[in-house]
Amino acid sequence: MRWFQRTPIRLVLAAVPTVGFIVAMEGVAAPFLGDVVLKLVEAAGVLALYIGYVRLIERRPVAELRGPGAVSELARGLILGASLFAATMAVIYLLGGCAIERGDAGGALAMFVGAAVAAITEETLMRAILFRIVESSLGTWLALLLSAALFGVGHAFNPGATVASTLAIALEAGVLLAAALILTRRMWLAFGLHAAWNFTEGGVFGAAVSGFDHAHGLLRSRFHGNPRITGGGFGPEASIIAVAICLAAGCAILALAYRRGRFVAPFWRRPATAASDAV
């Protein structure tokens, strides 16, 4: 019960400084540094704040950012994220929903850095902080439901967003990315998945990423037809194809994690001696 009582305090202590730092960095104008450097500083600052919170407040090693296998988990996440989006585009293309043309590689590096930084900041906030802290008291299933819903709502004000796109983000990304943390109990698989999906979407195929258009991909995708298939103005993430593919992958990872005993019971179903924080 003590973890349930302390959860709101822990969420405030972890999330408020992180959100404040992200908002402050988004408002910084430093042309002498450049956007790429500012983004890298933002990612480093978010990680530093999280590490400081874990060491000072939770008083434990930051196991979710350490450990053997981190490199291989990151690599698997990158491969899986790129593969999932490529599969989504392949189905949309075969259904006649898009045309793919030669693009412009000039902005690929900036897009890659942007995708990596977005993955680090969003995953730290939504999975390492929100999901993990809520899971420590309410258990895996409720933490998964809450974090997925809030992740969808977090994209509800993006350009081209609709109720359908908000639900799509919750189901495809909210479930899949939380499943990556549940399975490995580290952040690297989720970091790789998120970064590779975004970069493949915008930096490779030149499609809109969560409503934000990217005209400098290695390719240029032009969508037409049924927005349920193409995702409309929000981009392929709002497509039922993306939802089906990513939700299937997320459920498969969840099933594997469950078989490996990685799920955490809510506090009211635990013995008194088991009331400890789950990483």
Residue 28 in domain: no
Mean confidence (pLDDT) of the chain: 91
| pLDDT value at residue 1 | 46
Residue 202 in domain: yes
When pLDDT is averaged across residues 202-231 and rounded to a whole number, the result is 90
142: tokens are: 């409720």
Residue 173 in domain: yes
Q: Which domain holds residue 161?
A: 68-273
Could you tell me the sign of the dihedral formed by the alpha carbons of 62, 123, 41, 23, in that order?
negative
Interatomic CA distance for residues 274 and 89, integer angstroms: 45
What total number of domains does the chain contain?
Answer: 1
| pLDDT value at residue 278 | 46
pLDDT reading at 20 higher than 50:
yes
Residue 72 in domain: yes
pTM passes above 0.75: yes
| pLDDT value at residue 277 | 46
Residue 26 in domain: no
Interatomic CA distance for residues 114 and 111, integer angstroms: 5
When pLDDT is averaged across residues 48-64 and rounded to a whole number, the result is 95
Residue 14 in domain: no
The backbone torsions φ and ψ at residue 93, rounded to the nearest 5 degrees and listed phi first, read: -65, -45
When pLDDT is averaged across residues 210-237 and rounded to a whole number, the result is 90
Interatomic CA distance for residues 145 and 72, integer angstroms: 28
Interatomic CA distance for residues 269 and 223, integer angstroms: 49
Express as a percent the part of the chain with pLDDT over 70.
93
132: tokens are: 């993990």
pLDDT reading at 244 higher than 80:
yes
Express as a percent the part of the chain with pLDDT over 90.
77
Q: In the 8-state DSSP scheme, what is residue 31?
A: T
pLDDT tens for 65-112 read: 987 889 999 999 999 999 999 999 999 999 999 999 988 777 778 889
Residue 29 in domain: no
Q: What is the DSSP string of 111-142?
A: HHHHHHHHHHHHHIIIIIIIIHHHHHHH-HHH
When pLDDT is averaged across residues 128-154 and rounded to a whole number, the result is 96
Interatomic CA distance for residues 90 and 241, integer angstroms: 10
pLDDT grade, residue 3 (50/70/90)? low
| pLDDT value at residue 163 | 96
Interatomic CA distance for residues 103 and 121, integer angstroms: 28
| pLDDT value at residue 35 | 78
Interatomic CA distance for residues 169 and 190, integer angstroms: 15
pLDDT tens for 163-203 read: 999 999 999 999 999 999 999 999 999 999 999 999 999 99
Alpha helix positions (H), the chain: 2-26, 35-53, 70-94, 108-123, 132-138, 140-154, 163-169, 175-184, 188-198, 227-230, 240-259
| pLDDT value at residue 273 | 53
Interatomic CA distance for residues 59 and 57, integer angstroms: 5
